Amino acid sequence: MARKGEVQIVNPPSDVISAVKFSPKTSQFLLVSSWDTSVRLYDVLNNTLRHKFFHSSPVLDCTFLDTVKTVSGGLDNTVKLYDLNTHIEHNLGTHDAAVKCVEHASMINGILTGSWDRTVKLWDGREKECVGTYDQSAGKVYSMSCIEERLVVATSDRKVLIWDLRHMSNYVERRESSLKYQTRTVRCFPNKEGYVMSSIEGRVALEYFNPSPEWQKKKFAFKCHRAKQNEIEHIYPVNAISFHNVYNTFASGGSDGFVNIWDGFNKKRLCQFHMYDSSISSLCFSDDGSALAIACSYMDEAETPPEPYPEPILYIRYVSEQETRPK
């Protein structure tokens, strides 16, 4: 149910929402991928579904290449380029296993895809070809994020690989996650100082790129998305993280159905929104930080599904400065 300052989007996907991404430079258009095999474009200002197209299998991620072109990938192993104006789709190529992550690397005007085949591929959207395949040290790609020349890839076995997009012959650094359990998501700070990652065990870690001891002393991890009931602590996966580009604060979303806003640099929680309908599967702040897209999807966490079965729901929350600005 939408509250004050929130809009519930009509015609949501019929299965788990895997990713929500705002169009560059505007909070009007939202791209949404789903396990129902669709990629959808919403005009959130007018609350309308503008367009949708399909893959042959569930779609695990999507992103805008520019204001009219999108890239998506999923369990059909295919990387699809789609033009929202002409409705022409082009299969850029494939991985040998599912495409888990899709990122636009604006600095090199390329498309990066991360796969369970243990590689990251770089694609040229104009030439429509793969221009590089990079082995991820035998780890399946679970999440990745890039900011200017830096690419951070979180893989299975709790490894993190840091790459420089200008010199992709080898990774710059290979780290072990400071979280003891499987990585769910990783996102780079907008100010380029480091990255935030989350795990399936209700924790978030802040890490810094600078290897010097004084910078590494600043890194820390904290517990979140947990609840005590009858003296038993319930621990939930932290599925989603999105940064506010203006304030460098970030939102986290968990399988507890809550969204929290954090000021990582000052180690503070700024606010917690109301409980949502089901697990938070994806989050995305608009470029200017005025809107937060919140995807709710039941992700089969319980041994027996709840009754009635939760339908996927999409919200746009128009956040206030009080909720997102460091205090």
171 domain-assigned:
yes
pLDDT at position 322 is 94
235 domain-assigned:
yes
In b/e form, how buried is each residue of 25-34, taking b as 16+ CB within 10 angstroms?
A: eebebbbbbb
73 domain-assigned:
yes
294 domain-assigned:
yes
Residue 177: pLDDT band (50, 70, 90) is very high
Distances (CA, A) of 104 to 63, 64, 109: 7, 7, 7
pLDDT at position 193 is 95
Structural domain span for residue 172: 6-323
Instruction: Report whether pLDDT(3) > 70.
Output: no
Structure confidence by residue, pLDDT tens digits, 49-89:
999 999 999 999 999 999 999 999 999 999 999 999 999 99
pLDDT at position 300 is 82
CATH number at residue 20: 2.130.10.10
Exposed / middle / buried, residue 156 (Cβ in 10 Å: 0-12, 13-18, 19+): middle
Interatomic CA distance for residues 223 and 203, integer angstroms: 4
Structure confidence by residue, pLDDT tens digits, 285-307:
999 999 999 999 998 877 888 88
147 domain-assigned:
yes
Interatomic CA distance for residues 101 and 73, integer angstroms: 7
51 domain-assigned:
yes
Structure confidence by residue, pLDDT tens digits, 91-124:
999 999 999 999 999 999 999 999 999 999 999 9
pLDDT at position 304 is 82
Number of structural domains in the chain: 1
Mean per-residue pLDDT of the chain: 95
Q: Tell me the average pLDDT across 194-202.
A: 96
Residue 138: pLDDT band (50, 70, 90) is confident
111 domain-assigned:
yes
1 domain-assigned:
no
Q: Residue 43: which residues within 8 A CB-CB, separation 6 or more?
A: 28, 29, 50
Interatomic CA distance for residues 239 and 16, integer angstroms: 13
Structure confidence by residue, pLDDT tens digits, 27-38:
999 999 999 999
pLDDT at position 4 is 64
pLDDT at position 57 is 98
